[in-house]
Structure 1
Amino acid sequence: MEALLQLRVLVLKSNKFDGNMSLPSQSYLSFPKLQVLDISRNAFGGSLPQRYFKNFKAMMGVKANYDDMNFVAHVEMTLTLKGQDQLLKRLLEAFTIIDLSSNRFSGSIPHSIGNLNSLRYLNLSHNNFMGHIPASLGNISVLESLDLSSNKLDGGIPSELTRLTFLEKLDLSMNDLVGQIPQSNQFSTFDNDSYVGNLRLCGVPLTRKCNKEDGQLIGPEEEDEEEEEEEEYGFIDGEMW
């Protein structure tokens, strides 16, 4: 299929396909016009194919405004967008989505995915990804939906993600993320559901407090001590009495 240089839509979801997509290929340029890649709900495994992310030319070159998009083709496909199934009947030039959810992919999320700066929907949920969330995701400036839930990701939430000012849906739940949740730009709009299951995250919108010095989660004993201290001294309008 890599030889199909005009291919714009590849939807293989909800089958029983398996195998490793990161094997070497003889194709010099793979899927240069691909805008829609949906292989969700299969059994693909192994690491993600970085060579694809370097060659998806139609997902590069930012087109921020939907009004500037040209009509490409009539289609009829149902895709999951921002957590909801939606029927699309036409394809616009800058509509782009990668949905690899509910497979068996493992390893780390490659930094090269940040090259796809025209990507609008990215769903890598329900896999076995490990390691940190790549800061390069902050380069995907028109991203509207990011779902990395139900993996094994650790480390902090990169502050670079606050640059995603078009982001409407964020789901980082059911991982092992740590530290303080960023609060700039769109991050101030996300609620507890975006982070549930990360027992070492802290800060708004969660009820778990962060250490003021290093931004890490305050342990139960420290939190009790802090509450006792506030009860003992008390505060009025920020002043101790």
Structure 2
Amino acid sequence: MTEIKNIIFDWDNTLFPFKEKYWELAHRQLFSEQLGPFTDQELNRFMEKYHEFDELLWPQVHQRKMMIEELREERLSLTIEYFDLKVDENYLTGFFKKFLNRLFELIEPDEQLIQNLKNLSKNYKLALLSNGGHVEQREKLRRSQVEKLFSVYISGETGYLKPDARAFKNVLTKENFQASETLMVGDLIEHDIKPAQELGMKTAYIGPEKETIADYEFTNIQDFFDSFIEKNGD
């Protein structure tokens, strides 16, 4: 087996607990402040329905039938309509900006993540490949204090959106990585794992699914770090 020399990480929900931690907390705080008061049970019901509409709409974004900006407004509009809440007509259009500002305020550096990346960089060349807007992703990286720990490639800057093979080829070319010596680490099979494998890269899936097409599977990112750092004796 060819030795792995390079590692490319996905960002949101792989290295950065976006959906599980910050996305959830920022939404809960804003909904409580702006649409409440809610009891804990009422807020949980609101969030459950919000999640349902979010999951219902995302396939349309992946199929390029809906823009991400439309999804953000539509999932909120459907949830508010479901609970028969009354909001100002500008609330929907202005919500995401408020959400993003709140999310930024909540982000704190993860010292364990920072140390893990530093340890990993002793034996591997590291890069990051993320979908997302320039301002949003750069600010999340900056506040997490990891931006300088690897080369960063963001779709909003490169123009290449995963799972487009050009997004991966761009990193391989600019970093002078050989595909067979490079490991792609991500949480989405269709966007991270499958396209990387098609280019001849090794892959590591982070998440709850089992027996995937990935070469390695880890329940969470810490399990990945434990395995690869231990493998090199750090």
Normalised by the length of structure 1, the TM-score is 0.24
Which structure has the highest strand share of the two? Answer: 1
Which has the greater radius of gyration?
Answer: 1
Normalised by the length of structure 2, the TM-score is 0.24
Higher RCO (Cα < 8 Å, 6 or more apart)? 2
